[in-house]
Amino acid sequence: MFQTHQQSLRPLTTAHLAQTMTLLSLTADELREQIESELASNPALELIEERRCPTCHRLLAPHAMCPTCSSPRSDAADEPIVFVSPREDFNFSSGVNSEEMPEDNYSSTTEDLPTFVLRQIASELDGSERAIAAYFLTHLDDDGLLSIPLVEIARYFHVPLSKVEGIQRKIQHAEPYGVGSCSPQEALLVQLDLLGESHDIPVLARPMIEKEMGLLSRHQYAELARAFKVSLRTVHQAVAFISENLNPFPARSHWGDVRQSTETPPQVYHRPDILISYLNDDPTKPLLIEIIMPLNGTLRVNPMFRSAIHEAEQEKKDDWKNDLERASLFVKCLQQRNHTITRLMQRVAGLQRNFICHGEKYLKPVTRASLSVELGVHESTISRAVANKAVQLPNGRIVPLAMFFDRSLNVRKVLKEIIEKEGRSLSDTEIADLLSQQGYQVARRTVAKYRAMEGILPAHLRRPTPGV
């Protein structure tokens, strides 16, 4: 009925392209902001009311059928079903948060640690404190530790040191625990305190970290035993506890949790932009892929506005016309964005089905470049689409979309398996051999790198006795 096509003037085309690119690289959350601001500033744009699927209650785009219920051809088991799903249950810019999304996000970071942390504690801080916290958080290093002295922050804001310390304490108590500490030692102590609230901790743990951090980090256990006048065995127990439950580098979030040391995902990400599940939750059915549109309804050009333009005064007419064009452009770009992401996900999900269903081990190394030729778009288009987006897998994990293009993830996974399985500590060279036996050819140096990436300690100080 009211379509929004026509007008393909040259200048518009470039603007069109530019805006499509921008929208493409936006996260669902960012997109929401963008849409809201556009909606507020442009009267020609309107949000039409939601439509829901009568049977499953899912929000639908205006002319779409519900892909789940009116399940198209569920026989084409290979082809994933991809569709755009308007959802507005997606707000978190408002003050309170944390408990709102019980399910799928355990929260944590990767894209933007500072923002993530700030969001957690924002409600506890007043305006000026928030500014300090924000500044504080911009000076974290890759490990999540503070890279500048506290006094510097205090000086910068002309506030007493104690105030900064208070803020630091709040930051440290946010996830990932210990973030914003000045040293690994401090981070460990914070984590120990937090953990101590709900679990028993070895008595030796705290004094060891507090007083003999040097020995501890150098793994000089015999010295430790002597220093505290306890048996070597006791030291080992405490050390085991520390290395299992604490993490000196908060941002490198690979900690084996006390509760379930099952394959707890080492990294969890922001809210998903894309959801992947099985049709009707049946693993034999095709994959169902929802691309989140952070909206409660659908955007379109207001037809009333369009017709009203003829009656407008000459003065306003130009402005209105301008608005109209912008609106139509915006809608078009949005459609373009969705179309691109849809096609992208369709292809990616098809390729990586094994990965999606059966885990990291089955990730095929696919490059963005190869996909771009398949889809007939420019590489940068894929890059933009992939960057900064998170996907929720059927098993509930939230991973960055970029993980689908990780060249070495499968090898790293196998490497982890090898290390976990073998009771004895294997040297990097041995691991390299084992890997090539399994068909993964990597240099010994690379094994070392992968280990480091996964946060696995070198052979000589790995735990020879893997049981508790």
CB of 410 to DNA, least distance (A): 10
Give the alpha-carbon dihedral of 211, 213, 214, 217, to 10 degrees. 160
Please, what is the minimum distance in Å from the beta carbon of residue 121 to DNA?
Answer: 28
Closer to DNA by CB, 332 or 368: give it: 368
Whole-angstrom distance, CA of residue 296 vs CA of residue 315:
34
Q: How far is the CB of 252 from DNA (least distance, A)?
A: 14
E-only strand ranges, 270-344: 274-278, 287-293, 298-301
Q: How far is the CB of 377 from DNA (least distance, A)?
A: 13
Entry field: residues in the chain: 468
What's the min distance (Å) between Cβ of 302 and DNA? 38
CB of 334 to DNA, least distance (A): 23
The CA distance from 245 to 256, in Å, is 6
- Shortest gap between Cβ of 219 and DNA (angstroms)? 8
Q: In whole angstroms, how close is the CB of 27 to DNA at the nearest point?
A: 17
Backbone angles phi, psi at 460, to 5 degrees: -65, -25
Taking the least distance from each CB to DNA, the nearer of 158 and 460 is 460
Distance CA 219, CA 328 (A): 65
Distance of alpha carbon 297 from alpha carbon 138, whole angstroms:
36
Closest contact distance (angstroms) between CB of 402 and DNA is: 8
- Distance between CA 439 and CA 400 in Å, rounded? 27
Nearest to 153 by CA among 140, 170, 144, 142: 140
CA within 13 Å, CB half, 462: 20
| Nearer residue to DNA within complex by CB, 342 or 446 | 446
Which residue's CB is nearer to DNA, number 187 or number 401? Answer: 401
CA-to-CA separations, 215 to 8, 205, 459, in angstroms, rounded: 70, 13, 19
Q: Which is nearer to DNA, 21 or 190 (CB)?
A: 21
- CB proximity list for 175: less than 8 A, separation 6 or greater: 107, 108, 116, 117, 120
Least Cβ distance, residue 451 to DNA (angstroms): 6
Where would I find the beta strands (DSSP E) of 12-120?
A: 45-48, 51-52, 59-60, 81-86
CB of residue 426 to DNA, shortest distance in Å: 8
Residue 274: what are its φ and ψ, rounded to 5°? -140, 135
Nearer to DNA, 101 or 351 (CB): 351
The alpha carbons of the chain give a radius of gyration, in whole angstroms, of 26
- Rounded Cα gap, residues 418 and 408, in angstroms: 15
Residue 240 or residue 442: which is nearer to DNA going by CB?
Answer: 442
Residue 150 or 457 having the CB closest to DNA: 457
Cα distance between residue 13 and residue 123, in whole Å: 44
Record the tokens describing residue 26, joined without a space: 């936006």
DSSP secondary structure letter of residue 427: P
Task: Name the site residues for DNA (rule: CB under 7 A).
Answer: 218, 367-369, 379, 383, 405, 407-408, 425, 427-429, 441-446, 448-449, 451-452, 458-460
164: nearest Cα among 151, 148, 146: 151
H helix intervals, 158-275? 161-172, 184-196, 205-211, 213-217, 221-228, 232-245
How many CB atoms neighbour CB 412 within 10 A?
22
Question: One-letter amino acid identity for 220?
Answer: Q
Rounded to a whole number of angstroms, the minimum distance from the CB of residue 383 to DNA is 4
Residue whose token pair is 């504690």: 121
CA angle 146, 190, 170 (to 5 degrees): 65
